[in-house]
A and B are shown apart, each in its own frame.
Chain A
Amino acid sequence: MHSDHSANGKASVWLKIAAWSGLIFLHFPIAIIALYAFNTEESAFSFPPPGLTTKWFAVAFGRADVLESIGLSLQVACVATVLAMTLGTMASAALYRRNFFGKESITLMLILPIALPGIITGLALLTAFKALDIHPGITTIVIGHATFCVVIVYNNVVARFRRISASLIEASMDLGADGWQTFRYIVLPNLGTAMLAGGMLAFALSFDELIVTTFTAGHEKPLPIWLLNQLTRPRDVPVTNVVAMLVMLVTTIPVFLAYLLTKGGEDVAGSGK
Chain B
Amino acid sequence: MTTVVEFSSVSRHYGEVKAVDQVSLKIAEGEFFSMLGPSGSGKTTSLRMIAGFEQPSEGYVIIHGHDATGLPPYKRDVNTVFQDYALFPHMNVLENIAYGLMVKGVAKKERLSRAQEALDMVALGEYGLRKPAQLSGGQRQRIALARALVNRPKVLLLDEPLGALDLKLREQMQSELKTLQRQLGITFIFVTHDQTEALSMSDRVAVFNKGRIEQMGSPRDLYNKPQTAFVAEFIGSANVIKQPLVDTLGLQSGKTFALRPEYIDLNAVSEAVSGELNAKGVIRDIQYQGANTRYQVMLDSGEALNVSCANSFSAGNEGSGDVLTDGAEVNLSWRADAMVELRDVELRGENVNVDNAGA
Contacts and interface: CB of A to CB of B under 8 A. Distances in A.
Interface of A: 165-168, 170-178, 181, 185-186, 189-190, 266-272
B355 to A, nearest CB: 15
Contacts of A177: 74, 99, 103
Interface of B: 51-53, 72-74, 78-80, 82-84, 86-90, 99-100, 102-104, 131, 133, 147-148, 151, 358
Contacts of A271: 90
| Closest CB pairs A-B (n = 3) | A175-B100, A270-B90, A171-B86
Given A167-B83, A172-B88, A172-B103, 5 more contacts: A168-B86, A168-B88, A171-B82, A174-B148, A189-B90
Contact of B103 (A167, A176, A269): A176
B51 A174 contact: yes
Which of B99, B102, B104, B133: most chain A Cβ within 10 A?
B99
Nearest to A269: B90
B82 A170 contact: yes
Contacts of B87: 171
B151 A176 contact: yes
Contacts of A190: 89-90
B51 to A, nearest CB: 6
A268 B147 CA distance: 20
A268 B102 CA distance: 22
A170 B359 CA distance: 11
Contact of B358 (A167, A185, A267): A167
Given A174-B79, A176-B74, A272 B90 contact: yes
B86 A165 contact: yes
A263 to B, nearest CB: 16
Contacts of A186: 88
A174 B133 contact: no
B72 A185 contact: no
B358 A166 contact: yes
Contact of B104 (A176, A189, A266, A267): A176
A268 B80 contact: no
A159 to B, nearest CB: 16
B86 to A, nearest CB: 4
A173 B100 CA distance: 9
A84 B83 CA distance: 36
A268 B89 contact: yes
Contacts of B84: 165, 167
Nearest to B78: A174
Contacts of A172: 88, 99, 103
A227 B348 CA distance: 75
B107 to A, nearest CB: 16
Contacts of B104: 176
A271 B84 CA distance: 23
B103 A174 contact: no
B93 to A, nearest CB: 13
Given A170-B86, A171-B86, A266 B74 contact: no
5 contacts: A167-B82, A170-B53, A175-B99, A266-B133, A267-B133
B82 A175 contact: no
A165 B84 CA distance: 9
Q: Which of A165, A167, A178, A266 has the most CB of B within 10 A?
A: A167
A268 B74 CA distance: 25
A268 to B, nearest CB: 5
A269 B90 CA distance: 7
A190 B84 CA distance: 18
- Counting chain A CB atoms within 10 Å of each CB, the highest count among B53, B78, B87, B90 belongs to B90
A173 B102 CA distance: 13
Nearest to B72: A173
A267 B74 contact: no
A250 B105 CA distance: 44
A173 B99 CA distance: 11
B90 A173 contact: no
B131 A267 contact: yes
A187 B74 CA distance: 16
Contacts of B358: 166-167, 170
A269 B133 CA distance: 11
Contacts of B83: 167
Contact of A175 (B52, B89, B90, B151): B151
Contacts of A167: 82-84, 86, 358
B143 to A, nearest CB: 12
B164 to A, nearest CB: 13
Contacts of A168: 86, 88-89
Nearest to A168: B86
B76 to A, nearest CB: 8
Contacts of A267: 89, 131, 133
B53 A175 contact: no
Given A170-B73, A170-B358, A175-B79, A181 B103 contact: yes
B103 A175 contact: yes
The listed residue with most A CB atoms (<10 A of its CB), out of B74, B104, B151, is B74
A224 B138 CA distance: 57
* Most B CB within 10 A of own CB, among A167, A170, A174, A186: A174
A22 B271 CA distance: 86
B102 to A, nearest CB: 8
Interface centre among B52, B89, B99, by most chain A C-beta atoms within 10 angstroms, is B89
A153 to B, nearest CB: 20
Given A168-B88, A267-B89, A174 B74 contact: yes
A266 B148 CA distance: 24
A33 to B, nearest CB: 42
Question: Taking each of A172, A173, A272, which has the highest tally of chain B beta carbons within 10 Å of its own beta carbon?
Answer: A173
